[in-house]
Every structure is written in structure tokens, then in C-alpha cells.
Chains A and B, each alone.
Chain A
Amino acid sequence: MKKILPVLLFSLLFFLVFDAPCVLAGPSSSHYELKDYGFGAGGTASASLNYGLFGVAGEMEASAASSNTYKVLGGLTYEIKAPVPPAPTFSNPATNYDRLLTIINAGTNQSDATYAVEISTDSTFASDIHYIQSDFSIGSTLIASCFMNYTTWNSASGKFVTGLYPHTTYYARVKARQGNYTESEWGAVSLGALTSDPSLTFGMDNSSITFNSLNAGNSYTDSSKNTVLTTSTNAYNGYVVWANESGALSSGGDTIADYAGTNNTPTTWSGTGFGYTTSDSDLQTGTGGSARFSGSKYAGFSTTPNQDPVADHTAKIENPSLSGETFTISYNVVATSTNAAGTYKNTIIYTVVPIY
């Protein structure tokens, strides 16, 4: 046994080192034999799940011929190219002003086909041509990364293409690729989709606040008054509302001081003053926590404009647009028994601005 083992090992080593590589015979006749299916230096293979193709880069059976009304491409390549995708669905479902929804229509293309989208303000695509890039913004050149599969185009839900001009009609068309040699022509042109203008609608349910007469009977307190702010907008990044006042509530030379809590650190009401709380339990703007007003925490108004946010919507508004979002600003006034009798007034200013 010990003698056989070295012989076996030697034989194995010998065959591994010196054995000639196998050659599979190609097609042959009495006059010729094709030794290899491979191509020379210019050859490349293009394969996917559904097909495989060997091609010679830069070489075609026939050159492309075209006129205004027809186009004939090279024979072999033409025969196997990806089907031309039908017109995509190009729309503005939520009155967006800088983006449009693009839904690819794959047609008869295979599942591993990739698609590129060309968009233009010209329905004939003779001018102002752009291509949707891999980040779904628009660019001036069609590059390999513009071709993305159906899943990346978010299938039947589609993707928003961004960076468009407001109040402009755009058209789109699609071409498909499958592997290296199978790019289709541009497909049919979509219906025109019009971008909107960014708009904002604002309202408040009152233009003045009349507090109850403050006296010993109600402990010089009234917390029953409020202002409801209503906002509608298609501004993508939402909006923010700031509040400020012209000055403390005053009557002649006498004032009711602003409540001591601040917008960044509102507090549970204690003591006297004039203050507010907001129903926005997710107030992202400002340096305090987003839920800082939760649990009826109060702050005094600042006289500095655009410093104290009282309501906001910072989540993206894409589809649908925001309609009639309301926040309630509730006031509390607690005077002291030493406040002189009289009519106290000031002006509260709410400033609403879209976030960009």
C-alpha cells in the first residue's frame, strides 16, 4: 500500500502539469474547421437572463440608412434589438411645480430590459432635449447610467423627475436596452404634462381676540380664546409659521407682561402674563424639541419677527399637495389684581413662508 501511494500521487501531479487542455471541436467539413466560437480582440459577449449574444464592436452588417420617414438599422443588430417601449405616462398628479411623475410602460420588453427617458418642452423633440439621470434629475447628456431597470423606475408607481421649470409643458419618450447590442429607437411621445406654479393659501379664523373681562370672579384669567391657522400649499418642502407681537398688552402706561416661558423652552402655566401654546405637536422648526409644546406648555410672544415658530409642515409635499392643514394657537392671559382697569391691546403677527 505504501508503495502504491507515491506512484498514485506522482501520476496525479504529472497529469495536472503536463496534460494538454481539452479542445472541443467546432463545426467542420472536409475543407474547413472552426476551432473556436470566440472573436478576436474586438469581440465582446453580451448576455442577460433571457438571451446571449456575441458581437464585434464597431462592425455591422450594414450601415444605418434613414430619411425623414423611415430608418433601417444594421441587419443582425436590428433583428434582435429590444422592442420599442410605448409612450410613458407623464403626469402632474399633485400640482407640483418642479417635478412630474414618469411611469415607464415596458410594452413587450423582457424583465431585465433597461430604460432611458428623454424629455423636452418640444413635442417634436427637435430642441430643448434633456435626459433623466440616475438621480431622477435632468441632464443634457444620455449616459449609460440613464438606463435603469423597471424596478428602479419604481415599476407601475413611477418616479418623479425633478429640476423642471414651473408652468411649463413637458413631453417624454422612452427607449429600451437589453444587453450591449439591443437598444431600441425612441418610443412614442407621451401626452404633454404641465408643471404648476408654487402657491400658498393662508387664512386665520379671526382678526382680533376679545378676552373676557378680567376680574376677581375669574381670577383675572381667560384661557378660552384662540386663533386657527389654515394653510394649503404645493410647496415641496412645506411651510413654517412664525409669531410675534408689536409689544406687551398695554393700556395707557400699564402693561400685562409677556409670559416668562419661551418658544424654545415653553413651560406649564404658572403665575401671570400673556402667552400662547400651539397644537403643533411636531414642531420641527426652532431649537427646542419637536414636542416642546405638548401638554399645554406656554410661551410668551416675542417682539422680534420670524424668531418664534408656532406651526410648521416640514415633511415633503409631493403627492398629494397639502390642503387645509390647521393648527390652533391658544392664548392665556392672567392679569394681576394690581393691573389698572382699562382696555389692554397689542397686535399679534403670524408670518407664513414656504420652506425651500
Chain B
Amino acid sequence: MIKTITKYIAIFTVFAYFLLPKSAFAQAVDYRKIIRITPVILNINLNPGQQQSYDLRLDNLINQPLGIQLSLETLDTTDELTGMVFGNPHANSPFVSWILLSRKQFIIQEKDSQTFSLNVKIPKNAKLGSYTSVIFITPLLSTANQKNSPNVISRIGVLAFANIGTPKEVPTEKLAKILTFNFDQEKNKINAIIRVQNTFNFNLSSKANITLEPILFGKNQIIELEDKRILAGKVRKWIEPVNLSNGIYKADLAVSLGEGRIIYKTIFFSVPSFTYILKYLVILIILLLIFLLRKRLKKAFFILYKG
């Protein structure tokens, strides 16, 4: 009898070990890296009447499921520095209506990846040129939407730049023009300010560099600025701090527009600035005049005072 009971207990214990649910300890979730999006900048080159699908991959980097919401918005580019204003209802962008998202809401399981597609269909009568749009991805944590405290959510934007049609060959000077090239001097800071306008109907990739040549003494300095994309018809701005000692300089700006096409501008300036020098020159001349005409001035004051 005891033997039988012992046997049953042993069998029960073995089964219980394998079949009973294990205790689970919740792992701490590291929210510092929630989601990775690839690609986050999308370059689309299509012709009117053409259709193409582009995949975007989302990686859930945390160990809990992640809800995803997608939305499509216009991207206007009025800002010259970062070049972005989103969802501007006044922005004229038919491009948004040419894009179809394969899905707009889905869940990515913990530490998993999913892709969604951007189906782009260009109408046959589409005007040739460049277009922009942005796809916003909102990751939603299962802990979000607390009822008793402010919630914090994030959105990540994927920028889509499209060139529709093939750009025609035009002379370099008709692609873009340098609107501003100067050296802004305030207090102890000198900033090179450059503004370049894309006068073409296609986006341009630009890189600018400045060669600074002291007129009297010192070594030449070459400053390579960061590359920037200038969207069709828009202006981009560079503000670059430069370190210069006092003197007169010749500054050559070369803005490359890709494929070896370069536009140039040369200016001369001084450190401190000509206006600063002029201000002190005027003060010096006034003091000199006062010194030279001191007797007459003294007499004039005397007459004014005594009558």
C-alpha cells in the first residue's frame, strides 16, 4: 500500500514539475531605446505613371509588445535652418495623396520587427519636379494612458523626398544662387552666414566650403561646412562659427551642387568689421577736429556762456 502511494506521489511530483506553470519574474523594461526605424529618410525617384513600393522596417527594442500608429502628413520646408514645418494645411503637396500605407495600426511583439509598405503611385499627368512628405510613427506602450497623471508619448518622423521625372541639363548658375555670404561679428563671436536658394525644380545636394585668405599675414584657412539638401525653390542656411584674428580677409565660398557643379562667391571683410572701424574712425576724426579747433570752440563756448 505504502509502495503504491509512494509510486503515485513520485509520478505526481514528476508531472507537477513539468506541467505546473513556472513562476515568472517581470524583467525591468529599458525605455531608453524603444524603437528603431529604417530607413528614416526615403529617397524616391519615379516617373509619371510609375508605381513603386518602399518597405520600412520597425524594430521593437523593448521586452514588451509595442502598438504602432502611422499617419501621413505634408512636409513644408519654409524653415531655412532645419527646413521643416509639418502638417501645414496650406502646403501644396499632392504627393501625400499619391501614397498609400499598407497598414496604419499594428502591434510588434517584444524584441521583434515588422515592416510596412509605402505604395507610391505617380499619376501620368504629374508635374515633373520634387515633392516631400512625412510619415509619423507613434509607438504606444501598453503602460501608456495613465488615468491619473500626464502621459508622455513620442512620434518619429520618416522624411520622404521624391524626384518625379529626370532633371534636364541646365547651366550650373541656373541651378542655385548664393543669396547671402557674410561674416556676422557680435561681441567675441564671428559666424559665417550663408544662404543658398535652389532655383531649380528638383532637389539638390549641396556642400559648401570657405577658403579664408588673410590679405597681409597669416595662413589660409579652409572651412568645410556640412552637406545640406536644398529642396526645389527653397533656401537653406548655414551658420558656422569661425575663429579669426584681427585683419583683412578675402573669403571665397564654393557651393557644390553635386556632379562637380560648383557656384562661387568672393567677399572681402575685416576683423573687427568695417562698420566697427568706421565708428571709431568717426570718433577719432571728431576728437581731432575738437583738438584742431579748440581755440575757436573755446571762444564759442565763452560767447555762449557770457553772452
Residues of A within 8 A of B (CB): 97, 133-140, 143, 145-146, 162-163, 165-166, 197-211, 227-228, 230, 232-233, 235-237, 240, 249, 284-285, 305-306, 312, 314-316, 324, 326, 343-356
Q: How far is the CB of A280 from chain B (nearest CB, A)?
A: 14
List of B residues within 8 angstroms of A351 by Cβ = 86, 136, 154-157
Query: Which listed residue, B43, B81, B156, B161, touches A285 by the CB 8 Å rule?
Result: B81
Bound-state Cα–Cα, A210 to B157, Å: 28
Q: How far is the CB of B2 from chain A (nearest CB, A)?
A: 58
List of A residues within 8 angstroms of B205 by Cβ = 137, 162-163
Q: Across the interface, do B38 and A198 meet the contact criterion of CB distance under 8 Å?
A: yes
List of A residues within 8 angstroms of B144 by Cβ = 207-208
Q: Does B250 contact A (CB under 8 A)?
A: no
Binary contact readout B134-172 vs A (1 if CB under 8 angstroms, 0 otherwise)? 101000010110111111111111010100000000000
Residue of A nearest to B224 (CB): A316
Q: How far is the CB of A162 from chain B (nearest CB, A)?
A: 6
Q: Across the interface, do A306 and B86 meet the contact criterion of CB distance under 8 Å?
A: yes
Q: Across the interface, do B84 and A236 meet the contact criterion of CB distance under 8 Å?
A: no
Query: Which listed residue, A137, A227, A249, A284, touches B260 by the CB 8 Å rule?
Result: A137
Known: A146-B260, A198-B39, A343-B148. 20 other contacts (CB 8 A): A135-B258, A135-B262, A137-B205, A165-B43, A199-B40, A201-B61, A202-B33, A202-B34, A203-B32, A206-B31, A207-B141, A207-B146, A208-B150, A230-B33, A236-B227, A285-B82, A345-B147, A350-B153, A352-B157, A354-B41
| 12 A-B pairs in the complex with CB atoms less than 8 angstroms apart | A133-B260, A139-B260, A163-B205, A197-B38, A199-B40, A208-B143, A237-B227, A285-B82, A343-B147, A345-B149, A351-B155, A352-B154
Q: Tell me whether A356 and B260 are in contact in the complex, defined as CB-CB below 8 angstroms, given that A200-B156, A209-B150, A237-B226 are known contacts.
A: no
Q: Across the interface, do B37 and A200 meet the contact criterion of CB distance under 8 Å?
A: yes
Q: Tell me whether A233 and B40 are in contact in the complex, defined as CB-CB below 8 angstroms, given that A203-B32, A314-B82, A316-B227 are known contacts.
A: yes
Q: Across the interface, do B34 and A356 meet the contact criterion of CB distance under 8 Å?
A: no
Q: Across the interface, do B151 and A345 meet the contact criterion of CB distance under 8 Å?
A: yes
Q: How far is the CB of A317 from chain B (nearest CB, A)?
A: 9
Residue of B nearest to A354 (CB): B40
Q: Across the interface, do A354 and B32 meet the contact criterion of CB distance under 8 Å?
A: no
- Chain B residues 11-47 with CB under 8 Å of chain A are 30-41, 43
Bound-state Cα–Cα, A202 to B205, Å: 27
Residue of A nearest to B39 (CB): A197
Bound-state Cα–Cα, A133 to B57, Å: 34
Query: Which listed residue, A134, A227, A316, touches B152 by the CB 8 Å rule?
Result: A227
Q: Does B287 contact A (CB under 8 A)?
A: no
List of B residues within 8 angstroms of A326 by Cβ = 32
Q: How far is the CB of A262 from chain B (nearest CB, A)?
A: 17
Query: Which listed residue, B86, B148, B229, B258, touches A345 by the CB 8 Å rule?
Result: B148
Residue of B nearest to A315 (CB): B226
Residue of A nearest to B85 (CB): A306
Residue of B nearest to A249 (CB): B150
List of B residues within 8 angstroms of A200 by Cβ = 36-37, 40, 156
Bound-state Cα–Cα, A172 to B43, Å: 24
Q: Tell me whether A355 and B35 are in contact in the complex, defined as CB-CB below 8 angstroms, given that A137-B259, A227-B152 are known contacts.
A: no
Q: Across the interface, do A199 and B36 meet the contact criterion of CB distance under 8 Å?
A: yes
Q: Across the interface, do B260 and A306 meet the contact criterion of CB distance under 8 Å?
A: no
Residue of B nearest to A99 (CB): B227
List of B residues within 8 angstroms of A235 by Cβ = 40-41
Bound-state Cα–Cα, A57 to B47, Å: 45
Bound-state Cα–Cα, A166 to B41, Å: 10
Q: How far is the CB of B48 from chain A (nearest CB, A)?
A: 22
Bound-state Cα–Cα, A205 to B31, Å: 5
Q: Across the interface, do A209 and B155 meet the contact criterion of CB distance under 8 Å?
A: no
List of B residues within 8 angstroms of A347 by Cβ = 150-153
Q: Across the interface, do A145 and B150 meet the contact criterion of CB distance under 8 Å?
A: no
Q: Across the interface, do B259 and A324 meet the contact criterion of CB distance under 8 Å?
A: no
List of B residues within 8 angstroms of A211 by Cβ = 149-150
Q: How far is the CB of A321 from chain B (nearest CB, A)?
A: 12
Bound-state Cα–Cα, A180 to B200, Å: 37
Bound-state Cα–Cα, A236 to B205, Å: 12
Residue of A nearest to B37 (CB): A200
Binary contact readout B219-236 vs A (1 if CB under 8 angstroms, 0 otherwise)? 000000011110000000
List of B residues within 8 angstroms of A210 by Cβ = 146, 148-149
Bound-state Cα–Cα, A326 to B30, Å: 14
Q: How far is the CB of B152 from chain A (nearest CB, A)?
A: 5
